[in-house]
Amino acid sequence: MFENMHFNGQFRSYQQHILDGADKYLKDGRIHIVAAPGSGKTVLGLELICRLNAPCIILSPTTTIRNQWCDRFIQHFLGEDDAKECVSCDLNEIKPITSVTYQALHAAMKRTKDDEEGTDYTALDLIKEVERCKVGVICLDEAHHLQNEWQKALEKFLSALKGKVKTIALTATPPYDADANEWKRYTAVCGEIDEEIFVPELVKQKTLCPHQDYIYFNYPTKEEAGVFDGYRRRALSAVGELIGCGALERAYDKLLSRSTDYDYLYENAGGIISLLSACSYAGISVDKSLVRSLAAVKRLPAPDMEWLERAVNFLIEGDLLEEDERNNCLDIFKRAGLVERGEVRLDLNKKLKSKLVSSAGKLKSIADIAAGEYKNMGKNLRLLVLTDYIKKESLSLIGSGNSADSVSLVSVYETVRKAGIKVGALSGSLVILPDDCADILRKQGILAGVSPIEGAGCSVCEIGGDNRVKVRAVSRLFEEGHINVLIGTKSLLGEGWDAPCINSLVLASFVGSFMLSNQMRGRAIRTDANQPDKVANIWHLATIERPFVVAEKTGEKLSALFNQNKNKLDSCDYQTLARRFECFVAPNYETGEVEGGIDRVTIIKQPFDEKGIAAINAQMIARSRQREAVREAWERAVDRSVRLNEISKVPKDNKIPPVEFVNIGLAALLISILPVCISQIAINIFELYGGVRTLATVIAAIVAAVSLGVLCDLIINKILSFLSPVRSIRTMAGCVLEVMQENGMVSADARAKVEADEHGMYVRVELLNASVHDQNVFHSAIKQMLSPIENPRYIIIPRGMFGSFKYRGALACPDCLGAKSQYAQCLAKKLKRSMGGVQVVYTRTQNGRKLILQCRKRSYITYNDKVLYQRKKAISRWE
């Protein structure tokens, strides 16, 4: 069937490496490959299908990607002549390659109609048809982030075919941050990850171009800010009413009556701390001993709206007030319109957060970016702006001179057009092009209709044929430079669309998953044969707010609750962006190291007032012009290494209790003092027998000096050892890894590497020879052990000489090892080799909760966290 079908190109080295190992991976009937966007995973999947030589059903999340599989197969393996015989997009007509969506599979399994495609599956018995057609391969493209019903249909489908088919799973965005159950469900479908292709390797192979991420900030429009301020004024009024009704005093009195109920206190520690913070803010004198019994600090967190929101919900949902009084408190916030799905929301509800994220203020950001990029690149600019909505009804905005009130394809088009840059817009239902581009399409005979927009120099164009024809026609205009900026919708261009000419991308899409963000980002970072020196800029937009101000003096104290975090960017939009950046890798702005995470964008720094934000934006524009510097940073980085391993960094000041520090220190002290004592005895002997005192003094002085030197050397070395706990962390990491390997949590080939960095500031913990998933599991465990004790199932406490607990050395047992008692006991047994006597304590008992409170207050790690991170982790210490 596929014997005469071969890839008509040349495989890249990393693709060939995977193909060479495919037989080994397929021994269990499954192969699972993680590959960054642009790595050629579609071609890789098709080659694997051909080698397995059996009819295949390919499942994709969208019709765009579904079509891409068909196009790639015809282009690289088959040829147009045989397409009808070999390729199908309908499960009613299974052929050697049948490419459908997960939605179509769901419809077929339910024997209903696929509303998206209009295909009727009511008469189809899919499992019987698959068996009749001898389908032997199922290829899963991005088999996660699926709707729950699609996921269930997929699992049922694969279960019915278990043992009868082989599966190929391909993804660019595996759910590494999933919990254990979600990850287990994912691997049950796809299998464990066999191979991963990393972005630095792709850049080194020149499959992806060098690239960098930039962030541009904006404030909401005046109208949007007015809506947000109105909500917050209502919140302040409701909080004031709550304080005035006396509910906080009564709740506090009830809490004091339960101050010895440790089960209650510990189970509700976060809520109680928030309530105590609210009480303190309301002028109620709070018992400090109650605070100390719940947290490792003496002071309550500074009140802000986040803490007050937690306090209010704890008050309403808890049992410190009678039911009638709880309902009265809830009514205060209901009347103010501050209740969403049964919970009080003081600092913007979901609807308003969505309004903030999609702020029309981002239109100015897009205009600034487009102008900056055009100034730098001129006619060579190929800027793509991806957005969510079309808003065809707002076409009258173009050329009118009016301001837009939302981000859409039409409003972005008009924003860029007014900046004097040649721009086009492309979506499934609307195409807008400059008049000269419309003339080009007319000459090509594909322009079915045109509606000029008066005074704007552009027209709404109707292009004959389906969406594929539209996309090809407008893409060609973009590639040839007839337009320098293309505005498109993510649904049409965000995935499965190739335009290697793109050298700048603005992500103005705010709806959808991380998977879509990564796919859209992948549009820009492909190499282009026509631009061998291509460097791509990827722009991310973030809305932040100005300080909330209440003019009335009576509201000044309350309004300060919204403005506590002056030293950080407190924006839900920026927080979402920061989470997504964890999986976007590029060179650190300062060090040049290829890293994930938003911290690599080092020019985002205080002050975060209007002048500071303007300065950050200006630096972003200036840095975006330095494309050659980005190329050089990538070249230096990939020359050192092409495989990224997650690294846990532990500050050297983070004092892990050194192994046998007291005993060794005491021995060193005794050994050093001994010569001093001997020298004094020698002096006494000389004096007693009338010897030469001068000689005795000299000898004694020399011995004393040497002894003092030895003493200082030993003490200094011990202090250095204490400050650089490489040995202790290496031992700890080794013990954790051994337990994980013995219980099948990570690969048996994995190896922990622990070393101090070249500047002596951190101890680095790295897992080698391991998949990204294994690295995530391992590093999560290490971070939990080296972080302040919060709420683990088990804690590990060293025992002293007479059996007493040494709380200063207490450690949290990581969640993955605390799931079962035997795992925790196994870890303690291994730690005992270096720490001496230790005891595993189960914390879900009354005695265990008392002990965990002691550990949280007195452990080394809590102390160091408080000293080192009192600003960065202010909230976590009261959790």
The answer, yes or no, to whether residue 349 has pLDDT greater than 80, is yes
Please say which residue of 680, 707, 723 terminates a domain: 723
Mean pLDDT of the chain: 84
- The Cα 64–Cα 493 span in angstroms is 9
Question: Is residue 438 located within the same domain as residue 488?
Answer: yes
Please say which residue of 137, 164, 197 terminates a domain: 197
Q: Retrieve residue 320's tokens.
A: 């410190």
Assess contact for 659 and 726: CB atoms under 8 A.
no
671 assigned to some structural domain: yes
8 assigned to some structural domain: no
Helix count and strand count (H, E) for the chain = 36, 28
Place of tokens 């050329």: 399
Local confidence band at 655 (pLDDT 50, 70, 90 cut-offs): very low
Residue 732 domain boundaries: 726-878
Question: Is residue 176 located within the same domain as residue 278?
Answer: no
Question: Is residue 680 located within the same domain as residue 746?
Answer: no
More reliable by pLDDT, 142 or 368: 368
715 assigned to some structural domain: yes
Place of tokens 């171009």: 209
Say what the pLDDT of residue 209 is.
95
Local confidence band at 689 (pLDDT 50, 70, 90 cut-offs): very low
Local confidence band at 661 (pLDDT 50, 70, 90 cut-offs): very low
The answer, yes or no, to whether residue 251 has pLDDT greater than 90, is yes
Question: Is residue 215 located within the same domain as residue 228?
Answer: no
Question: Is residue 85 located within the same domain as residue 99?
Answer: yes
Please say which residue of 313, 337, 355 terminates a domain: 355
Question: Is residue 587 located within the same domain as residue 621?
Answer: yes
SS3 511: coil
Strands 458-463 and 447-453: antiparallel
Question: Is residue 189 located within the same domain as residue 238?
Answer: no
Question: Is residue 159 located within the same domain as residue 227?
Answer: no
CATH of the domain at 413: 3.40.50.300
Local confidence band at 352 (pLDDT 50, 70, 90 cut-offs): very high
Task: Return the DSSP state at 220.
Answer: P
Max mean pLDDT range (182-196, 485-499, 523-537, 789-803): 523-537
- Provide the domain count of the chain: 5
- The Cα 202–Cα 527 span in angstroms is 10
Question: Is residue 295 located within the same domain as residue 381?
Answer: no
- The Cα 703–Cα 683 span in angstroms is 11
652 assigned to some structural domain: no
- The Cα 187–Cα 169 span in angstroms is 10
Among the listed residues 542, 548, 544, 576, the one whose alpha carbon sits nearest the alpha carbon of residue 564: 548
Assess contact for 593 and 587: CB atoms under 8 A.
yes
pLDDT in tens, 804-859: 898 888 999 999 999 899 999 999 999 988 778 899 999 888 788 788 878 887 88
648 assigned to some structural domain: no
pLDDT in tens, 777-818: 898 899 888 888 878 999 999 988 778 898 888 999 999 999
630 assigned to some structural domain: yes
Say what the pLDDT of residue 515 is.
63
pLDDT in tens, 751-786: 998 887 655 556 778 888 877 667 878 988 998 888
Beta strands in 674-771 (DSSP E): 751-756, 762-768
pLDDT in tens, 421-469: 999 999 989 999 999 999 999 999 999 999 999 999 999 999 988 888 8
- Residues 335-349: what's their mean pLDDT? 92
Say what the pLDDT of residue 879 is.
38
The answer, yes or no, to whether residue 199 has pLDDT greater than 80, is yes
Question: Is residue 461 located within the same domain as residue 581?
Answer: yes
68 assigned to some structural domain: yes
Helices 305-317 and 222-244, interaxial angle, to 10°?
A: 50
1 assigned to some structural domain: no
SS3 762: strand
Question: Is residue 350 located within the same domain as residue 366?
Answer: no
Question: Is residue 363 located within the same domain as residue 416?
Answer: yes
One DSSP character per residue, 798-855 reads EB-TTS-B-GGG-EEPPHHHHSSHHHHHHHHHHHHHHH-SEEEEESSSHHHHHHHHHH
Local confidence band at 657 (pLDDT 50, 70, 90 cut-offs): very low
- The Cα 557–Cα 536 span in angstroms is 47
Share of the chain above pLDDT 70, in %: 83
First to last CA, the chain: 62
More reliable by pLDDT, 37 or 381: 381
